[in-house]
Amino acid sequence: MKEVILIKLGEIVLKGLNRKNFEDRLIKNIKHRLRPIGNFKVRNSQSTVTVTPLNEDTDMDTAAECISKIFGIAAFSRACVCEKDIEKIKKTAGEYLEDDFSSIRSFKAEAKRSDKSFPLNSPQISKEVGGYLAELYPNVAVDVHNPDAVVMVEIRDDAAYIHCGSHRGAGGIPVGTGGKAAILISGGIDSPVAAFMMAKRGIELTAVHFASPPYTSIRAEEKVVELLKRVSRYSGKMKMYTVPFTKLQEEIRDKCHEEYFTIIMRRFMMMIAEKIALKNECRALITGESLGQVASQTIGAIACTDNVCTMPVFRPLIGMDKEEIIEISRKIDTFDISVQPYEDCCTVFTPKHPRTRPVIENVISEQNKINYEPLIIEAVENVRITEI
């Protein structure tokens, strides 16, 4: 019995004259993500992408799990392929859906007929298949209003496809269609969620992480790598640039007033991240900031941070509260890693009373106590790159 995965497109269908570019990118992403699992034929026809395994022993459970995390997909179904003959369709449905019918109490049958040359119309197909399954599985009731499962028969140009319901896809648009951006990634809850959300809008990610040994440990960096691996299940591969940040933080500690520590640190981070972003052809930066969550995330502090940037800064979490962010982190399986007790450099030399309404002239005056430009160049030249 031949099984395939049928993929329904989401937002892509609204793209007008650019639609083919989005479809081509989605197919490319599907092929790339499925390559470690096996050999597949991926074909786009009649507003449905069909993923067909080329080997009989292909792990379709793993393939379906992988497809559930690819942006640009609204829904998908595992389906059985059958010859376009109503008797063979009924028989195949009875065999293919045996496991499904062992765990449900009610069902209804529906049909879609794209091939208008098929002798039965959609209501007739539904009646034939539904009646056959009702007789074959008498313990499962027919319920057209609120069934446990919907059996779908799709008559397409090439074959008939039978499946029992669909699964929700990751949504969004395909990664790579929205350009490139650099995410400032820490070991906390917020920044991995921000990375996920921007990848969902088609952004190809480059990650920038700041390390301050001996104040931060190698375990903190390993934690970030694990977080990015979880994000990459959705975003695809990326590079992580680990920036040595100790000298700059020590200079801030030794030469600047304590209440400006955090804001000056973040300004240096943005300067460095922008240099790395430009080298990687990124056109924006991404942070995990949420307005008012901490002292460095007030309107005034954010304005002081953005003051050093020449490219846009995306903050997808800006209007979210912590519970909303945690909910997404649990969904993408990063929460349990984020709460591991390995501190990142953002917690080093934290002031007791940070300035919440900084004046930009005062910030610049404090910052200029440091000869920071050579240190920023040194940090950029000594980054370590990790392939995720």
- Give the mean model confidence (pLDDT) for residues 81-107: 96
115-146: string of b/e by CB count within 10 Å (b at 16+)?
Answer: eeebebeeeebbebbbebbeebbeebeeeeee
Query: For 6-27, what is each residue's pLDDT tens digit?
Result: 999 989 988 888 899 999 999 9
Lowest mean pLDDT segment, chosen from 141-155, 254-268, 365-379 = 254-268
Looking at residue 294, its pLDDT comes to 78
For 141, 153, 158, 255, 376, the CA distances from 109, given in Å and listed in that order, are 12, 8, 21, 73, 64
Starting at the earlier edge strand, list the strands of the sheet with 313-314.
313-314, 285-286, 180-184, 204-211, 239-244, 384-387
Is the confidence at residue 348, as pLDDT, over 80?
A: no
* Beta carbons of 58 and 70 less than 8 angstroms apart: no
What is the average per-residue pLDDT within 342-359?
Answer: 73
Segment 263-276 mean pLDDT: 96
Superfamily for 180-387? Answer: HUPs (3.40.50.620)
Q: Which of 77, 63, 79 is nearest to 30 (CA)?
A: 63
What is the enclosing helix (H) or strand (E) of 381? helix 372-381
Q: Where are the domains of the chain?
A: 3-170, 180-387
> Over the chain, what is the mean pLDDT?
93
100-104, 235-239, 299-303, 382-386: least confidently modelled range: 299-303
Tell me the CA distances in angstroms from 239 to 200, 209, 354, 372, one per residue in order: 18, 11, 33, 26
> Residue 345 above 80 pLDDT?
no
pLDDT at residue number 351 = 67
Alpha-carbon span 349 to 138, nearest angstrom: 70
| Residues recorded for the chain | 388
- In which residue are the tokens 């995410």 written? 183
Same fold, 3-170 and 180-387: no
The least confident of 140-149, 190-199, 219-228, 349-358 is 349-358
Residue 349 has pLDDT above 80, yes or no: no
- Give the residue from 123, 41, 132 showing the smallest Cα distance to 89: 132
| pLDDT tens per residue, range 97-137 | 999 999 999 999 999 999 999 999 999 999 999 999 999 99
The angle subtended at Cα 278 by Cα 272 and Cα 280, nearest 5°, is 105
pLDDT of residue 358: 81
- What's the pLDDT tens digit per position in 173-224? 999 999 999 999 998 999 999 999 999 999 999 999 999 999 888 999 999 9
Question: What CATH architecture applies to the domain 3-170?
Answer: 2-Layer Sandwich (3.30)
